[in-house]
Chains A and B, each alone.
Chain A
Amino acid sequence: MMRVNIKSNFIVPGLENQEGLDLDRSTITLREFLEELGERAPTRVEYVRPGAQTINPDEWEIRINDTPYQQWSAGLETLLKDGDTVTIIIIPLGGG
Chain B
Amino acid sequence: MEEYSVVGKSVERTDGRVKVTGKAKYAGDLVAPGMLHAKLLRSPLAHAKILSIDVSRAEALPGVMAIITGRDFPGIPYGTRPDTRDQLPMPITKVHHFGEGVAAVAAVDEDTAEEALDLITVDYEELPVVLTAEDALKPDAPPVNEFSKSNIAYSSNFLFGDVEKGFKEADYIREETFSSQRVTVGFIEPHACLAEVDPTGRVLLQGSKQSPYITWRHMCRGMEIPLSGMRIVNPFVGGGFSGKHDPFDVDFAAVKLAQRTGRPVKIVLNNDEVLAAYRQRNAMDARLKIGVKKNGSITALKAECILEGGPICGIGPFNIYYFGAFLNIPYKIPAIEYHGKLVYSNRAPCGTVRGQEIVLAQFALDSLIHMVAEDLRVDQVEIRHINAVTDNWRTANGMMVDVSGLQECIQRSAEKIGWKESRKGRPKGRGIGFSCASHPSGPRLGGHFGSSVMLKLVEDGKVIVTHGGTEIGQGANTVFCQMAAEVLGLPFEDMIQGVSDSDTTIFDSGMFGDRCTYWDGNATIAAANDLKRQLAVIAAKELQASPEDLEFKNRRIFLKGKPEKGIDFLLAVRRAYYERGEPLYGKGYWAATDIDIVDWKTGKGNLAHGLDFIATGIEVEVDRETGKVKLIKGVHGDDAGQPINPLMLEGQVNGGSAHMTGHALTEESLYDEKGRALNYTWRDYKQPTSMDVPEYRVEHVHTHDPYGPFGAKGAGEASSCSTLAAIANGVYDAVGVRIKDLPITPEKILKALREKEAK
Assess the A43–B322 pair: CB atoms within 8 A: no
Which residues of the other chain, A, contact B86 by a CB distance below 8 angstroms?
43-44
Assess the B246–A45 pair: CB atoms within 8 A: no
Assess the A96–B351 pair: CB atoms within 8 A: yes
Question: A94 with B314: in contact, given A44-B77, A59-B82 (CB under 8 Å)?
Answer: yes
Q: Does B445 contact A (CB under 8 A)?
A: yes
Assess the A57–B447 pair: CB atoms within 8 A: yes
Which residues of the other chain, A, contact B597 by a CB distance below 8 angstroms?
9, 89
Tell which of A46, A60, A95 touches B513, judged by Cβ atoms closer than 8 Å: A95
Q: Does B509 contact A (CB under 8 A)?
A: yes
Which residues of the other chain, B, contact A61 by a CB distance below 8 angstroms?
446-447
Tell which of B77, B149, B214 touches A95, judged by Cβ atoms closer than 8 Å: B214
Assess the B315–A90 pair: CB atoms within 8 A: no
Q: Which of B391-399, B598-606, B729-737 contacts A (4 or more CB under 8 A)?
A: B598-606
Q: Does B289 contact A (CB under 8 A)?
A: no
Name, among B82, B86, B317, the residue most crowded by chain A CB atoms within 10 Å (CB to CB).
B82
Assess the B242–A96 pair: CB atoms within 8 A: yes
Assess the A95–B511 pair: CB atoms within 8 A: yes
Query: Would you give the 0/1 interface string for B409-448, flagging 1 where the beta carbon is closer than 8 Å to chain A?
Result: 0000000000000000000000000000000000001111
Tell which of B217, B221, B356 touches A96, judged by Cβ atoms closer than 8 Å: B356
Q: Does A11 contact B (CB under 8 A)?
A: yes
Tell which of B211, B246, B448, B601 touches A11, judged by Cβ atoms closer than 8 Å: B601
For chain B, the count of residues having a C-beta within 8 Å of the partner chain is 46
Which residues of the other chain, B, contact A46 by a CB distance below 8 angstroms?
82, 85
Give bound CA distance, A60 to B446, whole Å.
Answer: 9
Assess the A95–B85 pair: CB atoms within 8 A: no
Which residues of the other chain, B, contact A13 by a CB distance below 8 angstroms?
83
Q: Does B500 contact A (CB under 8 A)?
A: no
Query: Would you give the 0/1 interface string for A57-96, flagging 1 where the beta carbon is closer than 8 Å to chain B?
Result: 1111100000000000000000000000000011111111
Tell which of A10, A43, A58, A95 touches B147, judged by Cβ atoms closer than 8 Å: A43
Assess the B85–A44 pair: CB atoms within 8 A: yes
Give bound CA distance, A67 to B193, whole Å.
Answer: 43
Q: Which residue of A lies closest to B211 (CB)?
A: A95
Q: Does A21 contact B (CB under 8 A)?
A: no
Query: Would you give the 0/1 interface string for A1-21, flagging 1 where the beta carbon is closer than 8 Å to chain B?
Result: 000000011110100000000
For chain A, the count of residues having a C-beta within 8 Å of the partner chain is 25
Q: Does B231 contact A (CB under 8 A)?
A: no
Q: Which residue of A lies closest to B77 (CB)?
A: A44
Give bound CA distance, A73 to B325, whole Å.
Answer: 39
Q: Which residue of A lies closest to B227 (CB)?
A: A58
Query: Would you give the 0/1 interface string for B336-369, flagging 1 where the beta carbon is closer than 8 Å to chain A?
Result: 0000000000000001100011000000000000
Q: Does A23 contact B (CB under 8 A)?
A: no
Q: Does B510 contact A (CB under 8 A)?
A: yes
Which residues of the other chain, B, contact A59 by a CB distance below 8 angstroms?
82
Q: Is the interface of A mostly helix, strand, loop or mixed?
A: loop
Tell which of A8, A42, A92 touches B80, judged by Cβ atoms closer than 8 Å: A92
Give bound CA distance, A59 to B446, whole Å.
Answer: 9
Assess the B447–A95 pair: CB atoms within 8 A: no
Which residues of the other chain, B, contact A45 by a CB distance below 8 angstroms?
82-83
B73-88 residues with Cβ-Cβ distance < 8 A to A are: 77, 80-86
A32-66 residues with Cβ-Cβ distance < 8 A to B are: 41-47, 57-61
Q: Does B710 contact A (CB under 8 A)?
A: no
Give bound CA distance, A61 to B82, whole Å.
Answer: 11
Which residues of the other chain, B, contact A11 by a CB distance below 8 angstroms?
600-601
Give bound CA distance, A41 to B446, whole Å.
Answer: 22
Question: A58 with B217: in contact, given A8-B601, A94-B318 (CB under 8 Å)?
Answer: yes
Which residues of the other chain, B, contact A43 by a CB distance below 8 angstroms?
83-84, 86, 147-150
Assess the B601–A94 pair: CB atoms within 8 A: no
Question: A96 with B352: in contact, given A43-B84, A43-B147, A44-B77 (CB under 8 Å)?
Answer: yes
Which residues of the other chain, A, contact B278 by a CB distance below 8 angstroms?
none
Give bound CA distance, A58 to B83, whole Å.
Answer: 13
Give bound CA distance, A13 to B154, whole Å.
Answer: 10
Give bound CA distance, A8 to B650, whole Å.
Answer: 41
Give bound CA distance, A60 to B147, whole Å.
Answer: 20
Assess the B81–A90 pair: CB atoms within 8 A: yes
Question: A91 with B601: in contact, given A44-B77, A96-B351 (CB under 8 Å)?
Answer: no
Q: Does B245 contact A (CB under 8 A)?
A: yes
Q: Does B218 contact A (CB under 8 A)?
A: yes
Q: Which residue of B lies closest to A60 (CB)?
A: B82
Question: A9 with B601: in contact, given A91-B82, A92-B81 (CB under 8 Å)?
Answer: yes
Question: A91 with B446: in contact, given A43-B83, A45-B83, A59-B82 (CB under 8 Å)?
Answer: yes
Give bound CA distance, A9 to B83, whole Å.
Answer: 12
Tell which of A42, A47, A60, A93 touches B149, judged by Cβ atoms closer than 8 Å: A42
Chain B min CB distance to A14 (Å):
10
Chain A min CB distance to B211 (Å):
6
Which residues of the other chain, B, contact A94 by a CB distance below 8 angstroms?
80-81, 214, 245-246, 314-315, 318, 510, 512
Assess the A92–B217 pair: CB atoms within 8 A: no
Chain B min CB distance to A37 (Å):
10
Question: What are 15 contact pairs spanning A and B, CB under 8 A?
Answer: A9-B598, A11-B601, A44-B77, A44-B148, A45-B82, A45-B83, A91-B446, A92-B80, A93-B214, A94-B81, A94-B214, A94-B245, A94-B318, A96-B315, A96-B352
Nearest first, the 3 A-B pairs at minimum CB distance are A95-B512, A94-B80, A91-B447
Binding site for B on A (CB under 8 A): 8-11, 13, 41-47, 57-61, 89-96
